[in-house]
Chain A
Amino acid sequence: MAKQKKEPKPGWYRLDNAGVLYSAIQKEKYSAIYRFSAVMTERVDPDALQRAVEKTMPRFPGFRVRIKKGAFWYYLEPNNAPGPFVKRDISNPCQPVRFKEDNGWLVRFFYYERRISLEVFHALSDGGGALVFFRTLLAVYLRELGHAVPNGEGVLDVDEPPRPEEMEDAYTRYAGKKVLRGGWARTAYPNKSAAEPFYTLNVTMGFVPVDKLKAAAKAYGASITEYLTAVLMLSIMENQKAEKPRHEKPVALAIPINLRSGFPSETLRNFILTVRPCIDPELGDYTLKELVDYVHHFLRLNINRQQMQATFTGNVRFTTNKLLQIFPVFLKNPVMSLSYKLVAARPYSATYTNPGAFRVPEEMAPHIQRMEVILGQATRPSPHCASISYGNIMEITFAGTGVSSETERRFFCRLVREGVPVRVESNRTG
């Protein structure tokens, strides 16, 4: 069962196994970055936001770090440099980080009109942890504006000291004895198009009413995540079919699962695992109903405690492998980068993540209009998809460095045909 391993001495700490991977695949033109945004009802006050950042950061030591290169592994250490400073937003979000630039900060804060954005380097935290940080930051920001916002309901008290359990490596804590090896997954249809020049990230957001979406999903007997996953798979299948290949490749998605529901943990660091729904178009055409049924049953069959524990135990074993440990980091990085390409990039057509509904205390709710999420660039010019809901607005983002907008066009057109109204915004028309 759960076991607590000896934690390193305070000051510096090891990356968790997801962090190890994200730091190893870091390149000059690629970083694993994601962004959460809150569109407020009032125009953002950058001074108040900066004050809120300064008050919130000390409460979250896991975000107040810099990454350093050790002899064998990267590690994180507290960052006492000035900042991070709130900046005016840019048209191309989720730009790669530089470990030695910007005072070593691995989180960024932006504002634009009524939008507040937080960008996080994935080695620090997953979406679940970052949303706790962001919710607290928004609460402190609203307090700075004079609104009374209580702690609780996901808002942490910035005046209390950080709790050790928020910093735990939950993978190591829950790693068991049995390891599940998934076997070699087939190369999936890459869904890529011509690459835009560096610095470009095409972002297209669709806003749909949650009640209408829920009704559409319910008509198929599925949840919103299952329904949207199926629609995305169908859109990618149609993309491939339009290319008229001699042989169609499988269409597979990476769906990150928040492990906190199955393995109780208050960690704000990474604690996710992906599952891989995959269909083979060579077997024949699929209707949306068939795809929804497949995804529905696949997720229910594969998301279980035992299987997930055995899978991340294998990942933990990999990073604690004695043979791997003796290689210096500059030799290890290319190997891990290659293994990422073979195991975590090639077998997938795209990633779709849905952190679910963003909930805030009642006092905060009137000040936030909607939430947005952007999954940063992929390692190839293909779009990733992410969604988040707030109130009755579900926001679905496609973001990628490819020129083509076919995936999002097919996806949103399908929703419109299914009777779900969609409103679209994009930085492409900028």
Chain B
Amino acid sequence: MSYCVNCGVELDATASACPLCHTPVVNPSAPVDTVSPRPFPTQKGEVPEVSKWELALLLSAMLASAALCCGILNLFLHPERAWSLYVIGAAVMLWVWFVPPLLMRGMHLCTRLVFDVVAVAIYVYLISVDLSGSAWFWHLALPVILLGGAAVLFLGLVLRGGKRSILSSITLVIGAVGFFLFGVELFLDWYLLGTWEPTWSLVVVTICVALIIPLVIVRRVPSLREEVRRRFHM
């Protein structure tokens, strides 16, 4: 029998290292037994992955039937207007949001967000078709959707894994909201006025900066951070 020189525990005759501290077993009078069976099997077992096909099929069928029914109804009810596009577009958008992530395991956040943003863009495009608004779609809606997608992607990548502190996360979210609303006014001005005259978005950005500065200070100064932690029990 061998004992771990570090831990002092007796080791199994088949152990080549201490399982507690990983110190190799070097015992000339009792070499490691490589013939006897080990205390535990060496073959790993694996459980099958949970199948999400049933749920994906159910969701697809529900969304498809809702879209199809509205499409057919549109042929008889107010056929002069393509109102069913709203429902069909929403069904497509919801399908893209929920079904591919069910079937494609480990889908990267970027890929998923690209799909989601494209789905939103398609939905808004269908609305613009019904309202004959291709101008506002291409010059206003699409840039805003892309900007929103970029902001969400940034937050997703930065906050992924939940390793950032609550204070840092709040700071980043506020910053992203300020940036997005600033961009919204920029695109609005370009579309409506043809020039950039920032007004309300500057107020929003100022408020965001005013919120961010104390958060950054609290994050940086240990005594303040401790005070916040004490007051809020974080």
Please list the residues of chain A having a beta carbon within 8 angstroms of any beta carbon in chain B.
28, 88-92, 95-98, 101, 112-113, 199, 203-206, 405, 408-409, 412-413, 416-417, 421-430
Q: Is the interface of B mostly helix, strand, loop or mixed?
A: loop
Q: List 19 other contacts, CB 8 Å, given A96-B47, A413-B9, A416-B9.
A: A28-B50, A88-B41, A95-B46, A95-B47, A97-B47, A199-B47, A204-B19, A412-B20, A413-B7, A422-B8, A423-B10, A424-B4, A424-B11, A424-B12, A424-B15, A425-B12, A425-B19, A426-B39, A430-B40
What are the residues of chain A within 8 A of B49 when measuring CB–CB? Answer: 28
Q: List 9 A-B contacts (CB under 8 A).
A: A96-B47, A204-B19, A405-B20, A416-B7, A416-B9, A423-B10, A424-B9, A428-B19, A429-B17
B78 within 8 A of A: no
Question: Quick one: closest B residue to A430, CB to CB?
Answer: B42
CA distance A427 to B37 in the complex (A): 12
Q: Which of B15, B20, B46: most chain A Cβ within 10 A?
A: B20
Q: Which residues of B contact A426 (CB under 8 A)?
A: 15, 19-20, 39-40
Residues on A with C-beta less than 8 A from B46 are 95, 199
| Residue B29 CB within 8 A of the other chain | no
Cα-based distance from A424 to B19 in the complex (angstroms): 8
Contacts A28-B50, A98-B47, A416-B8 given; indicate if A408 touches B20 (C-beta within 8 A).
yes
B11 to chain A, nearest CB (A): 6
Q: Is the CB of A98 within 8 A of B19?
A: no
C-alpha spacing A127/B74, complex, angstroms? 61
Interface pair A91/B7, CB less than 8 Å apart: no
Known A-B contacts A28-B50, A90-B45, A429-B16; the reply to A424 vs B10 at CB < 8 A is: yes
B34 to chain A, nearest CB (A): 12
CB B2 to nearest CB in A, in angstroms, measures 11
Chain A binding surface SS class: loop
A409 touches B47 (CB 8 A): no
Given contacts A28-B50, A429-B19, contact A422 B45 (CB under 8 A): no
Chain B 76-110 residues near chain A, CB threshold 8 A = none
Closest to B229 in A: A247
> Which are the 5 A-B pairs with shortest beta-carbon distances?
A90-B45, A426-B19, A409-B20, A427-B40, A423-B10
Q: Report B30 CB to chain A, min CB distance, Å.
A: 14
Cβ contacts under 8 Å, B157 to chain A: none
By size class, the interface of chain B is 20 to 34
> Are B9 and A98 touching (Cβ within 8 A)?
no
Q: Which of B1-56 contact A (CB under 8 A)?
A: 4, 7-12, 14-22, 37-50
- Set A98, A206, A413, A422: member contacting B50, Cβ < 8 A: A98
Q: Once bound together, how far apart are the Cα atoms of A412 and B3, in whole Å? A: 13
How many Å lie between the Cα of A430 and that of B14 in the bound state?
9
Q: Do B41 and A101 touch across chains, with their CB atoms under 8 A apart?
A: no
Contacts of B50 in A (CB 8 A): 28, 98
Bound complex: CA of A129 vs CA of B162, how far in Å?
39
Q: Are A424 and B43 interface neighbours, CB within 8 A?
A: no
Please give the distance in Å from B1's CB to the nearest CB on chain A.
Answer: 8
Q: A424–B20 contact, CB under 8 A? A: yes
Contact present for A424 and B41 (CB under 8 Å): no
Once the chains bind, are B10 and A422 in contact (CB under 8 Å)?
yes
With both beta carbons as reference points, the residue of chain B lying nearest to A203 in the complex is identified as B40
Digit string of B159-187 for contact with A (CB within 8 Å is 1, else 0)? 00000000000000000000000000000
A95 to B45, CA, bound (A): 8
Contact flag A413-B20 (CB < 8 Å), given A101-B48, A429-B15: yes
In the bound assembly, the distance between CA atoms of A89 and B10 in angstroms comes to 25
The distance from the CB of B56 to the nearest CB of chain A, in whole angstroms, is 15
Contacting B47 at CB < 8 Å: which of A101, A405, A416? A101
Q: Which residue of B lies closest to A111 (CB)?
A: B41
Tell me the nearest residue of chain A to B36, going by C-beta: A113
- Tell me the minimal C-beta distance from A378 to chain B in angstroms: 18
B18 — which chain A residues lie within 8 A by C-beta?
424
- Cα–Cα distance between A98 and B46 once the two chains are bound (Å): 12
Given A90-B45, A98-B50, does the pair A425, B8 have CB atoms closer than 8 Å? no
**A422 touches which of B9, B12, B37, B43 (Cβ 8 Å):** B9
Question: Which residues of chain B are within 8 angstroms of A92 by Cβ–Cβ distance?
Answer: 44-45
| CB-CB nearest in chain A for B10 | A423
- Chain B residues near A90: list those with CB within 8 A: 41, 43-45
- Expressed in whole angstroms, the Cα–Cα distance for A26 and B15 within the complex equals 35
Cα A416 to Cα B20 with chains together (Å): 13
Q: Are A405 and B41 in contact (CB under 8 A)?
A: no
Provide the residues of chain B in CB contact with A409, threshold 8 Å. 7, 20-21
In the complex the two chains form, what is the Cα distance from A89 to B131 in whole Å? Answer: 66
A204 to B15: give the CA distance in the assembly, Å.
Answer: 12
A204 to B40, CA, bound (A): 10
**Residues in chain B near residue A413, CB distance under 8 A:** 7-9, 20
What are the residues of chain B within 8 A of A421 when measuring CB–CB?
10
A252 vs chain B, min Cβ distance (A): 16
Most buried by A among B4, B37, B39, B40: B40
Question: In the complex, which residues of chain A have a beta carbon less than 8 angstroms from the beta carbon of B7?
Answer: 409, 412-413, 416, 424
Residues of A within 8 A of B41 (CB): 88-91, 112, 430
